[in-house]
Structure 1
Amino acid sequence: MCDDFTEQDNEKFRQAGGQFNRRDFSKLSVAAVVSLCFGGLANASAVLSTELTESEVDVPMQNGVSDSYFVHPAKGQYPGILLWPDIRGLRPAFKAMARRLAAEGYAVLVVNPFYRDAKAPVVSPGEQFSDPKVRERLIPFYRNLNHQASMSDARDYIAFIDKQSAVDTTRKIGTAGYCMGGPLIMRTAGAVPTRVGAAASFHGGGLVTEESDSPHLLIANSPAHVLHAIAENDDERFPSVKHDLAKAYKAAGVPAEIEVYKGTLHGWCPPDSSVYNEQQAEKAWARMLALFKTALV
């Protein structure tokens, strides 16, 4: 999870001329956001040409209604994907990422994880978690998304996905999460083990804790194949996490790809992040696509 230590690292990166601070994301058009999301992708033109159907949807939950975003190819049925955003929540960058994923042949639901407290977006264009006022606003939202709440939410989101005509329910569901979404993909896999076939975490925080509800304790509950893409500075602070995860997956007999991405800082994947690392974000994206292709059968 983002905290003061990761923000100190990120601020050093920005002061040293970090790549994304040369662009003012708040001034980018939707088309520009999409362009950033596709980066140097070799088949970007073919993917961008895929006709998509997208909509703002209200997902009925045990604790209210989650205003979310659903996108899929215009024709046919596809595996469902539950996409958990980072702590800045559902916003244009994640909608663009969802469109990119949908164009690869998936029906993608990006959720507002903070629906209990506020409608999306919960940040304004250009706002970063490094701003103390932003952190003060978002941390209480995050704390309300505790273990019990997120397990309940995962069940409700997957139930919604399975009711959509664009979803092929004969195929397993995938889930992906960023930052605080790391624990959420593990809880999703544990909450609905018969439906989730693959789970991908990018610079996830709080994956292994000493609490009785630590996400890693759910590993034995789910057969989902897993990807953990770990930020280098997260690994420097918590070097044992990768080993604890590997041990738990091995004991459960669950395939898992766990890698520390060199030269990355916590938050490097979303294209509106101040520490966005395009080369490593593209690598992580490619590994997620490979996971979904093989595990969502």
Structure 2
Amino acid sequence: MTKQDLQIKTGDGIAKSGLFRPADASRAKAGVVLYMDAFGPRLTLDGMAERLANEGYAVLVPDLFYRNAPYGPFDAKTAFAVEHTKTELTALISGTTQEMTIRDSGDFLDALVAEGVTGPVGTIGYCMGGARALNAAASYPDRIAVAASFHGGNLASDAADSPHRKAASIKARVYVGTAGIDRSFPPEQSGRLEEALRAAEVDHTIENYVGMAHGWCVPDHSVFDAAGAERHWKRLITLLAETLG
């Protein structure tokens, strides 16, 4: 596995990103964009990208908060419990809109092509990245073949930029893994998303991980669950293999 540091030029600046590839980069099966959770790029996300790279994918992990860099770093276990870091994180999240990430995603996809990673792409998002993975699939339907969200929030909210509103534009296969209890994605949103995807005839699965809490997949979260995380890896790797090869 190799890591390459990229500086991706966007309409608003430079997004620092990591590109993780198999040891023989020419043998990468396909490209994947991993949309970060609220705590930003860090060693934990590097480790998750490395695991996918070892499965044979070229994995791009962009900094979605680049417009406000430098910031942090944040401890995922305590950041929302400490007032000053909670305030900083809340500002970063609210100040990085879905529309910003949708625009950036075109540049992320172009960066993969510039690095020799061509063909259909997968998008994966955790926490705040979940909605972004789905919105990217809706915005670049001819380039993104599969999109997955794990403990993603506000996937079918009342907001104008909620992913369920763009279901008709999605051509990708979609997988949504939800925490058993998650205030950011309650049952009524799950039902609304299901209805939208089904009406749009999107190939999709929404799976409830009973007993898991928001953030269970990511090793440095306070609610990380090893067994639940392995279940997510099994689902994700199978999904990518079936759709990207």
Q: Deviations over 1:30-61 (max 9, x none)?
A: xxxxxxxxxxxxxxxxxxxxxx1212211111
Deviation at 1:128, TM superposition (A): 3.2
* Contact 2:154–2:184 (Cα < 8 Å) also in 1: no
1:277 matched to 2:214? no
Given candidates 140, 148, 153, the residue that maps to 2:91 is: 140
In structure 1, runs of 5+ residues without a counterpart are 1-51
Work out which of the residue numbers 128, 139, 158 in structure 1 matches 2:109.
Answer: 158
Q: In the alignment, residue 70 of structure 1 is paired with which amino acid? A: L
Cα deviation digits, residues 204-231 of structure 1 (max 9, x gap)? 0011111222211111101111111101
The answer as to whether partners of 2:138 and 2:167 remain within 8 angstroms in 1 is yes
Higher strand share: 2
Q: Report the Cα offset of residue 141 of structure 1.
A: 1.1
SS at match of 1:116: helix
Whole-Å separation in 2 of the counterparts to 1:236 and 1:124: 21
- Following TM superposition, by how much is the alpha carbon of 1:105 offset from its aligned partner in structure 2, in angstroms? 0.5
Quick check: 2:77–2:222 contact (8 Å CA) kept in 1?
no
Say whether 1:233 aligns with 2:205. Answer: no
What's the CA shift for 1:238? 1.5
- Looking at structure 1, the residues matched to 218 and 75 of structure 2 have their Cα atoms a distance apart, in angstroms, of 16
Given that residues 246 and 258 in structure 1 are in contact (C-alpha distance below 8 angstroms), is that contact kept between their aligned partners in structure 2?
A: yes
Aligned mates of 1:126, 1:243 — CA distance in 2: 30
Number of the residue aligned with 1:62? 11
Inter-CA distance 237–77: structure 2 relative to 1 (3 Å threshold): closer
Q: Identify which of 243, 247, 262 aligns with 2:191.
A: 243
Identity, % of aligned positions:
35
Give the equivalent residue in structure 2 for 1:219. 167
Instruction: Report the count of equivalent residues.
Output: 243
Between Structure 1 and Structure 2, whose CA radius of gyration is higher?
1
Distance in structure 2 (CA, Å) of the matches to 1:204 and 1:191: 18
Distance 2:83 2:164 in 1: 30
Distance in 2 (alpha carbons) for counterparts of 1:178 and 1:194: 23
Which of 39, 53, 59 is matched with 1:108 structurally? 59
* SS of residue paired to 1:86: coil
Letter in 2 for 1:135: K
Per-residue CA deviations over 1:157-212 (Å, capped at 9, x if unaligned) read 111112112x2x23x10011110011100111112111101111010001111122
Structure with more relative contact order (C-alpha pairs < 8 Å, separation 6 or more): 1
Dislocated runs of 4+, deviation >6 Å: none
* Local SS of the residue matching 1:286: helix
SS across alignment from 1:232: strand
Structure 2 counterpart of 1:89, one-letter code: G
Distance 1:285 1:150, change over 3 A: same
SS of aligned partner of 2:101: helix
Deviates more, 1:229-238 or 1:74-83: 229-238
Which of 85, 89, 110 lines up with 2:36 in the alignment?
85
Displacement of 1:153 in angstroms is 1.0
How far apart are 1:66 and its partner, in Å?
Answer: 0.6
Q: CA deviation at 1:290?
A: 1.1
Normalising by structure 1, we get a TM-score of 0.78
Task: For residues 223-260 of structure 1, give each alpha carbon's deviation from its aligned partner in whole angstroms, at most 9, with x where no partner exists.
Answer: 11111110111179721122111111111111111011
Deviation at 1:285, TM superposition (A): 1.3
